Structure 1
Amino acid sequence: MQPPRKRRRTLALDLTLLAIVGVLLIAATAAAVGAIQTQFYSPSAFVERYLGMLSDGRAAEALTVPGVVVESAELEAAGLPASASEALLRRAALAPLSDARVVSEETDGDITRVTVEYVAAGYEGTTTFDVAPNGMIGIAPTWRFATSPLAVMDLVVKGSTVFSVNGFEIDKRQVSVDGADAEPLDPLPLLVFSPGLYSVSVDTAISATPGVAVLSDSPFRSIPVEIQAEATDEFVAVVQQEVEAFLTRCATQEVLQPTGCPFGYTVQDRIDSLPKWSIARQPTVAVTPEGAGWRIAPTEAVAHIEVDIQSLFDGSITQVAEDVPFIVEGEITVQPDGRASIVVTGPDTR
């Protein structure tokens, strides 16, 4: 029979070993929980999930992330347009986002600042997000954006009310709070995701531009963007045709000073025949932007007049056949239905 003292030593050893195993298990469990929380429930993981949604084009899902959507009062309080449109907060307006990764995480009180790097449609960028606690699910913490990752692009497009952002077409009159009464040169505020690259371009029958690429990398900030569209060759050809037709009609008037026309002829004596006009050289039209509309840049043309002049001094008749140089310019206004109103002017018609 084993002595009692020896049995007590064996039992104590067993209990000690069990205690050590228990401590190791608790430590391992705590480490595992910590690792899981870091990987799935940390501020960095929260931001990574948001970036993953943008990378996958899941714009609607990204809008459900806590802290993304903002009210007009919040925009106004931040000095941003309260009427900013949500037209670009959709999959069709997103540009490719890739290689997104967290590079740092710093905590300051209740706010954790998570900095990420990424490639947006070929452009490298860096953005810092403010993240705050948003309660618990069981033992797992949840998070929200303390500052919305949305930004406001204040867009001015000169030369067109229709434009595209990342290939998504927008008519300013359809998204502006002023509707059809929207002023062409007033900025159009558009909410955009951060991070994101937004390429604005114009491609209409009247005007076009290669486009401007803007990187939205600062949450809850204003991004002023202004682009100037240029007249298309087709539009210039139409204006050229209209100007030539106008001048040709002017030449049918059998007077020295055709009414409303940019050319005329002055004599001191008496005319003895009706003046005959023709256009010896039509102008080469150049259409340039002017404010919300367009302008026919001043250009030279030549009219030709044939008329008999009787001298008041001796009554003699002189047959005049003379080229008359003149300057053509004009204003072009694009109507809401897309038609262009062309008014030809010149030094003699203003």
Structure 2
Amino acid sequence: MLLVGALGATGAVLYRDLYSPSAFVTRYLDLLAGKQAADALALPGVAVDSAQLLAAGLPSESNQALLRAAALAPLTDATVVGTDEGADGVTTVTVHYQAGPHEGTTAFRVERAGWVGVAPTWRFSTSPLAAIELTLRGATRFTVNGFDLDTRQVAGVDADPLEPVSLLVFSPGLYSIEVDTPVSTSRGVAVLSDKPQASIPVDLQTEPTPEFEAAVQQQVEDFLTACATQQVLQPTGCPFGLVVRNRIEEAPVWAMVQQPVVSLVPDGANWAIQRVQAVAQIQVDIQSIFDGSVRHLDEAVPFYVAGTVTILPDGTAAITITDGS
């Protein structure tokens, strides 16, 4: 009887530690903690297809780029705090853990998958994957936990830049999203994925870097300086000019005397040059059509500059300058 009791106790311990629903979930969490993303994804019920994504209310084209070791953050102190066997054959296993500096609790739904000899096997009845729906403004390149990505890699170069990109992530998991490029930067946004099959919206507005603003400033100055070389009253394609009702004796001479101080502001997925004043100087001799008298005009011509800055697929910027009206 003692032997039978010992065998029964040993079997109960083996079941709890190796073959129970909580052991299955613990194995999944251990793989995430060890950054074994491929092995975690291979566990029964983790990976999903497009039909399952749609059934869960997630975009069918959700990208799997973050389901890799390089995109995982530390996950520690995972402890099963509850197990609830449902009448439908699904067991809910609740786990508490530490994800970076954040504590979290996640409930997993597990069901029996079959048997190996006398030992049961398990699968997730609800995939523990979730989706971050990222809207990125003023940039296409970003990092998640230090892993580099580009929205054009995820959604394609022809996609609407303001359309959220859907990125599958493991639950639980902490995902820090930030932008640090020569064009734009952002403060990091930490996203805790703690609910399986959840949709997690993230809207990230970047700021232009000083180097980018300086480059745009130089381009605007170069453009206006080139405009001033046109010896006509209305330089073609330029935001300044002069209208006179009399004749001019010789070609006018323009010069820029006050360049605009460019300030970039968000404009959807790109940038806009905020309306700002500048001043050009014109010198020209004007002959009256009434009495033939000639007067020399040496006059400051204030005008306004505005524009847009669009980041092209190759990473360069296209600057369009308008007259600010």
- Which of 204, 213, 231 in structure 1 is aligned with 2:181? 204
Give the match's secondary structure for 1:180: coil
Percent identity between the aligned chains?
A: 56
Query: Which residue of structure 2 lines up, in the alignment, with residue 159 of structure 1?
Result: 138
Deviations 1:34-60 (A, max 9, x none): 122122222112111111110010101
After TM superposition, the structure 1 = structure 2 runs for residues 224-239 of structure 1, keeping only pairs within 5 Å, are 224-239=201-216
Deviation at 1:129, TM superposition (A): 0.5
CA distance in 2, matches of 1:277, 1:73: 65
CA distance in 2, matches of 1:325, 1:41: 80
Aligned residues: 324
Greater mean alpha carbon deviation, residues 191-200 or residues 35-44: 35-44
Deviation at 1:347, TM superposition (A): 4.3
CA distance in 1, matches of 2:267, 2:40: 40
Q: Answer yes or no: is 1:37 the counterpart of 2:28.
A: no
CA RMSD, 1 decimal: 1.7
After TM superposition, the structure 1 = structure 2 runs for residues 233-272 of structure 1, keeping only pairs within 5 Å, are 233-272=210-249
Q: Is the Cα–Cα contact under 8 Å of residues 211 and 227 in structure 1 kept in the other structure?
A: no
- Which of 161, 166, 174 in structure 2 is aligned with 1:184? 161
- TM-score for the superposition, normalised by structure 2: 0.94
Deviations 1:178-203 (A, max 9, x none): x3322212221111100001111122
Query: Which residue of structure 1 lines up, in the alignment, with residue 311 of structure 2?
Result: 334
Give the match's secondary structure for 2:188: strand
The one-letter code matched in structure 1 to 2:236 is T
- Which of 285, 310, 330 in structure 1 is aligned with 2:262? 285
Deviations 1:255-292 (A, max 9, x none): 22211111112233333332211111101111222122
Which consecutive residues of structure 2, in runs of 5 or more, have no partner in the other structure?
none
Q: Is the Cα–Cα contact under 8 Å of residues 287 and 295 in structure 1 kept in the other structure?
A: yes
Give the match's secondary structure for 1:128: strand
Greater mean alpha carbon deviation, residues 293-302 or residues 135-144: 135-144
After TM superposition, the structure 1 = structure 2 runs for residues 1-350 of structure 1, keeping only pairs within 5 Å, are 22=1, 24-109=2-87, 110-176=89-155, 179-347=156-324
CA distance in 2, matches of 1:29, 1:186: 60
CA distance in 1, matches of 2:9, 2:262: 77
Give the match's secondary structure for 2:157: helix
The one-letter code matched in structure 2 to 1:159 is G
Give the match's secondary structure for 2:187: strand
Deviations 1:236-269 (A, max 9, x none): 1111111101100111112222111111122333
Q: Is the Cα–Cα contact under 8 Å of residues 293 and 334 in structure 1 kept in the other structure?
A: yes
The one-letter code matched in structure 1 to 2:295 is T
CA distance in 1, matches of 2:193, 2:278: 49
CA distance in 1, matches of 2:235, 2:157: 38
Give the match's secondary structure for 1:238: helix
CA distance in 2, matches of 1:325, 1:118: 63
Q: Is the Cα–Cα contact under 8 Å of residues 224 and 256 in structure 2 kept in the other structure?
A: yes
Give the match's secondary structure for 2:10: helix
Give the match's secondary structure for 2:315: coil
Structure-2 change in CA distance of 1:347 and 1:186 (3 Å): closer
Structure-2 change in CA distance of 1:70 and 1:194 (3 Å): same
Q: Is the Cα–Cα contact under 8 Å of residues 296 and 329 in structure 1 kept in the other structure?
A: yes
Give the match's secondary structure for 1:203: coil
CA distance in 2, matches of 1:175, 1:314: 71
Q: Is the Cα–Cα contact under 8 Å of residues 307 and 324 in structure 2 kept in the other structure?
A: no
CA distance in 2, matches of 1:318, 1:83: 70
CA distance in 2, matches of 1:254, 1:121: 64
Which of these two proteins has the greater Rg computed from alpha carbons? 1
